[in-house]
Amino acid sequence: MFTHPFSAGPSARLSDSFISGKSLAPFTSWRIGGPAEWYVAPGSESEIQQILKLTQTQGIPLTILGGGSNVLISDQGLPGLVMHITHRFADFAFLPDGRVRAQAGVRLGTLIKKAISMELSGIEQLWGIPGTVGGAVTMNAGACQTEFFDVVESITSLTPSGQKVVRRRDQIQHGYRWSDYKFNAEIVLEATIRLQPAAAEAIQERFDAADARRKPQHDIRQPNCGSVFRNPPGDYAGRLIEQLGAKGRVQGKVQVSPSHANFIVNLGKASAQDACQLIRNLQHEVWHKNQILLEPEAIFLGEF
C-alpha cells in the first residue's frame, strides 16, 4: 500500500480524481475483476504525463486500462495505480485529405459510424469490434480480412520514461492481434489513420456484410470479452472447442457460449478464477486431442 498518490503532489485538481479501491469489473466487457488499489481517469495528455511521472518517481506499479473488452482482471484486483483511458480522452478530428486523428479513448464504433457518414472507407469492416482506438492499436484489431494497421499512418505514444514518440506505420511491428504496443510498455496517445473516399453504397455493402458475419456474436447477451482465443494457423479456435463437445460447458458462473464456442460468457457474478480455469481446461483438452496450443487473445491482468 502507498499513501494518496498526490498527497504532496503538484495538482490538487488531479489529486481529487484519484479513487482508492474502485471496482474494475464495471469497466470490462466481461464484468469480472477486483478493485484497483488506486484508480484515475485522466482527461488530457498533460495529466497522463503527470501520472506517468508520478508512478516513475514513486515506484508505483502502473496498469493502463482502455475499453476493457479483451481483459480478464484478477479477483484480487490490481496493485498500484490503474490509469483508465476513457471518454475523457476521446477527441477526434476528420481532416480534409481523408486523414483522421483520434485520441486513444475514442470508441472504435463511434469512429466507424462517423467515417461512414462522411463516405470514407477503410474501417467499416471492423464494425462490431468493441473497445477503443488505443486497444485497436495495441491489439491490431481485425475482422473480415481487415486489420486496424491497414489504415494506420502514424501512432503517438509515451515511453515509460515519459518521452513522446511519433512512429510511422513502417516503423511499428505488427501482426495478427498484436503490435509493438502490446509489449513495449508505451502508452498510446493518438492514432492518425488514412481513409479513402468511396461510394456510400459500396461502404454500406461492406458494413452490412461485416455486421451479418458477426451477428451470432452480437446475439450473445451475457457479458463476454469477445473471442477468448486467437485462431491457430489454418484453423478456428471455435471449431476446435466445438469439436470437444464443450459448447455450453459451465465452470462456476462462466460458460462456453452455446452460440459461439470461442466466447466465454459471465452467467452472473462470475469469478476471474472460474474463467481462468475454464480457459486452461479448454487449452489442455485441445492440445491433448489435436496437439494445437490455443493462445489466449484475452489479456490477463493481476495474479492468477
pLDDT tens for each residue of 68-123: 999 999 999 999 999 999 999 999 999 989 999 999 999 999 999 999 999 999 99
Residue 216 — pLDDT band, cuts 50, 70, 90? low
Residue 99, classified by CB atoms within 10 Å of its CB into exposed (0-12), middle (13-18) or buried (19+), is middle
Catalytic residue list contains 177: yes
CA distance 217 to 55: 39
Catalytic residue list contains 295: no
pLDDT reported for residue 98: 92
Q: Mark whether 49 and 134 lie in a shared domain.
A: no
> Quick one: which H or E segment has residue 211?
helix 200-213
Looking at 74, 124, 147, 177, which residue is catalytic? 177
Q: Mark whether 110 and 208 lie in a shared domain.
A: yes
Average pLDDT of the chain to the nearest whole number: 91
Q: Mark whether 150 and 229 lie in a shared domain.
A: no
CB neighbour list of residue 277: distance below 8 Å, 6 or more residues apart: 251, 252
Residue 2 — pLDDT band, cuts 50, 70, 90? low
Domain count, the chain: 3
Domain boundary among 168, 195, 213: 213
Looking at 47, 124, 186, 297, which residue is catalytic? 297
pLDDT tens digit string along 137-148? 999 998 778 899
Q: Mark whether 273 and 176 lie in a shared domain.
A: no
**Residue 6 is assigned to a structural domain of this protein:** no
Is pLDDT of 10 > 50? Answer: no
pLDDT tens digit string along 222-264? 999 989 999 999 999 999 999 999 999 999 999 999 999 999 9
Q: Mark whether 83 and 134 lie in a shared domain.
A: no
The letter for the amino acid at 238 is G
CA distance 100 to 121: 12
Task: Supply the range of the domain harboring residue 273.
Answer: 220-301
Give the Cβ contact number of residue 117 at 10 Å.
11
Q: Mark whether 132 and 228 lie in a shared domain.
A: no
Q: Which residues pair with 109 in a beta bridge?
A: none
Residue 207 — pLDDT band, cuts 50, 70, 90? confident
Q: Mark whether 243 and 286 lie in a shared domain.
A: yes
pLDDT reported for residue 7: 54
Mean pLDDT of 155-183: 95
Looking at 154, 227, 257, 271, which residue is catalytic? 227
Provide the CATH number for the domain around residue 150.
Answer: 3.30.465.10
pLDDT reported for residue 266: 97
Angle, CA of 137, 139 and 143, to the nearest 5°: 95
CA distance 62 to 51: 9
Cell match 464443450: residue?
246
Is pLDDT of 197 > 60? Answer: yes
Mean pLDDT of 43-64: 93
Q: Mark whether 103 and 193 lie in a shared domain.
A: yes
Provide the CATH number for the domain around residue 224.
Answer: 3.90.78.10
**Residue 5 is assigned to a structural domain of this protein:** no
pLDDT reported for residue 8: 44
Provide the CATH number for the domain around residue 35.
Answer: 3.30.43.10
Catalytic residue list contains 213: no
**Residue 123 is assigned to a structural domain of this protein:** yes
